[in-house]
Structures are given as structure tokens and as C-alpha cells.
Amino acid sequence: MAPLSDYEFAIRPNRSWVRVDWRGLWDYRDLLLLLVRRDFVSRYKQTVLGPAWFVLQPVLMTLTFTVVFGKVARIPTDGVPPVLFYLCGLLGWTYFSQNFQSTSTALVSNAALFKKVYFPRLVVPLAAVTSNLMAFGIQFTTFLAVYAFYSRFTPDGGRFGMEWTALMLPLIVLQIALFSLGVGLWLSALSAKYRDFQHLSVFLVQVWMYATPVIYPLSNVPEQWRWVSILNPMTVPVELLKQVLLGTGSCEPAHIAVSIAGTLLTVVSGLLVFQRVERTFADIA
């Protein structure tokens, strides 16, 4: 047990703008790990297929897209086999949308907990982003298996290929994690005060997918409108994943800079809003 003086702290009305309790977060790192474990273990309890759902969900989604957008709507896929193209697009998007869903309800769905016990509230969204990362890992493995199949056993094998920049993958994932955390923090803070945003966010995430080059390549967006697409910070990471994993994409360095700036702005402002709301959240919940 730590000596007394080590834990002296003051509770007083806080009027400063930013106060993120970094040290508290570190003290509660075990809680973060346990919450990650809880999310992961509890998600598929009492299911027959269990963790196989982590693989099945994106695969089923990909098949749906292949039929609807590939066969029926005939949206081009930059010359890549549609299955691979959608699986790759969904890789980044699913991680984003799962983070979005679990962090945007972080405050409201844990209200009962937050009204009864103190721990740094940021632990909850951070745990959500971390546990979704595991799902991403499983999904990525699935992608690799499908990729290996297509490049070896189909005539399309030579039309796409990973580039050495695939080593940048962790950075791209980090950007998605940060951006989704930022958006999630914003929405969870807003919906803590106004439940309207809970309804809005369900709709938002659906529309957002169509605004992001998940089912179509960025090259399919008319040149004069491409800048609009770039203003969506999710466009670049999703397109970049296709670029580094399949070698087809149209991201330019300037696009990447805009996207990173947007991400940083979102995550910093999200932290700011979130920690202002969390302090009195117990009173309004």
C-alpha cells in the first residue's frame, strides 16, 4: 500500500478547460484490461459459434456487398476481385463503426455504474477501442487467408498485390482508433445531455459508410468532388488500407495530411468535451 502522502488530492469545483486524469488512467490499467476481457468474453457467451462470429460477420457482409453492389449495381472495384475489395474496405470500416457504436454509448449505457463508483471514465471508451482491436485482428487474419487464396489460385492473382508500405498498417489502424475515439467521445458527451444524439448516431454511422470509399474506390469519385470526400477523415485510412494491401488506391500525401489533421482535431476536442461532461454526468444521468 502506498504511503499516505502519496495519495493526497483535492476535490473542488473544476473550471479549467482540460483536465485529463492521466495518472488515474494508469492506476486503473488493470480495470482497462479486465473490461477488454469482459467485452470479448461476454459478447459471444451462450452462442454456439462463439468467436467464429468475428470471422462470420465480415464474411457475410462481404458476400452481401458482392451480390448487391458488385452483381446488381455493378460498382467498379479498381480491377480487384470484388470479394477481396469489399473485405479490405470493410476491414477499416468495421473497426471504425464498432468503435463508434461502443464509445458513443459509453456514458449513457454505464450511467448506473458511473453514479455509484469513481474511476476515470475514459477507461470505458479506451477499453472498447482496445477490445474491438482484437476483433480487427481476427478479421485481418480472415482477409489474409482470402487474399492468399485469390493471389495463388485465381487468374486475377497478378492484378493486385501488397506493397512494402503494408508495414504502415499499424499506423493506419492507430489513426482509425484515434478518430473513432474522438467521434465516439463527442457523441457520448452530447448524448449524455441530449438523448437525441443516440438516435442520430445510429443513422449517422449508416450514412457515413456511404460517404466513405468502402464499397467504391476513391477513383470513382469525380475529380472536382474528391476534395469533399477527403474532408471526411475516414476516407484516407480506408482508401490507404486498399492501397497498401491491394495496391489500388488514389491517396496523395496532401490527402493524408488533411486526414491526420482532422483526426487530431477530433480526438483532442472530443477529449475536451467528454471530460467536461463526465464531471457532472452523475447529476444529469
Partner 1 sequence: MKSIIELNGISKRFRLGMLGARSLREEVENWCGRLRSGQQATAPGARDFWALRDISFAVEHGEVLGIIGSNGAGKSTLLKILSRITEPTHGEALIRGRVASLLEVGTGFHPELSGRENIFLNGAILGMNRREIRTKLDEIIDFAEIEQFLDTPVKRYSSGMYVRLAFAVAAHLEPEILIIDEVLAVGDAAFQKKCLTRMGDVAKGGRTVLFVSHNTSAIVNLCSRCVLIEKGKLTADGEPSEIINSYLSRDLSGEPVLEFQEKGGEAFFNRVTLARDDRTPSANFDFDESAILLLDFTLRRNIPGMDVSFSISDTTGERLFRSTSVMSDPPVIVENGGTHSLSARIPRSVLLPGRYFITITLHRPNFEIFDRHERAITFEVTNKGFEYYSYSPRQVGRFHADVRWTSNNTLQMRI
Neighbours of 86 (CB within 10 A): 24
Do 153 and 83 meet the contact criterion of CB atoms below 8 Å apart? no
**C-alpha cell, 167:** 508495414
Of 34-42, 167-175, 208-216, 239-247, the segment contacting partner 1 by CB under 8 A is 34-42
Q: For partner 1, which residue of 159, 193, 226, 276 counts as binding (CB under 8 A)?
A: 193
Cell 475489395 identifies what position? 85
Q: For partner 1, which residue of 63, 119, 133, 250 counts as binding (CB under 8 A)?
A: 119
Residue 196 in the binding site for partner 1 (CB under 8 A): yes
Residue length of the chain: 285
Contact code string over 205-244 relative to partner 1, x by CB under 8 A: ----------------------------------------
Q: For partner 1, which residue of 18, 48, 72, 117 counts as binding (CB under 8 A)?
A: 117
Show the beta-strand stretches assigned E in 107-217.
none
One-character DSSP codes across 271-282: HHHHHHHHTTHH
**C-alpha cell, 49:** 459459434
Q: For partner 1, which residue of 22, 23, 34, 210 counts as binding (CB under 8 A)?
A: 34
Compare residues 251 and 273 and give the one whose CB is closer to partner 1. 273
Compare residues 10 and 72 and give the one whose CB is closer to partner 1. 10
Q: For partner 1, which residue of 17, 153, 164, 194 counts as binding (CB under 8 A)?
A: 194
Do 263 and 89 meet the contact criterion of CB atoms below 8 Å apart? no
C-alpha torsion sign, points 103, 107, 108, 110:
positive
Q: For partner 1, which residue of 83, 128, 181, 192 counts as binding (CB under 8 A)?
A: 192
**C-alpha cell, 1:** 500500500
- Applying the rule CB under 8 A, the residues between 76 and 115 that interact with partner 1 are 112-115
Going by C-alpha positions, the residue among 136, 162, 144, 174 that lies closest to residue 244 is: 162
**C-alpha cell, 262:** 482532422
Compare residues 121 and 255 and give the one whose CB is closer to partner 1. 121
List of residues contacting partner 1 (CB under 8 A):
1-2, 4-5, 7-14, 28, 30-31, 33-35, 37-38, 41-42, 45-46, 112-119, 192-197, 279-280, 282-285
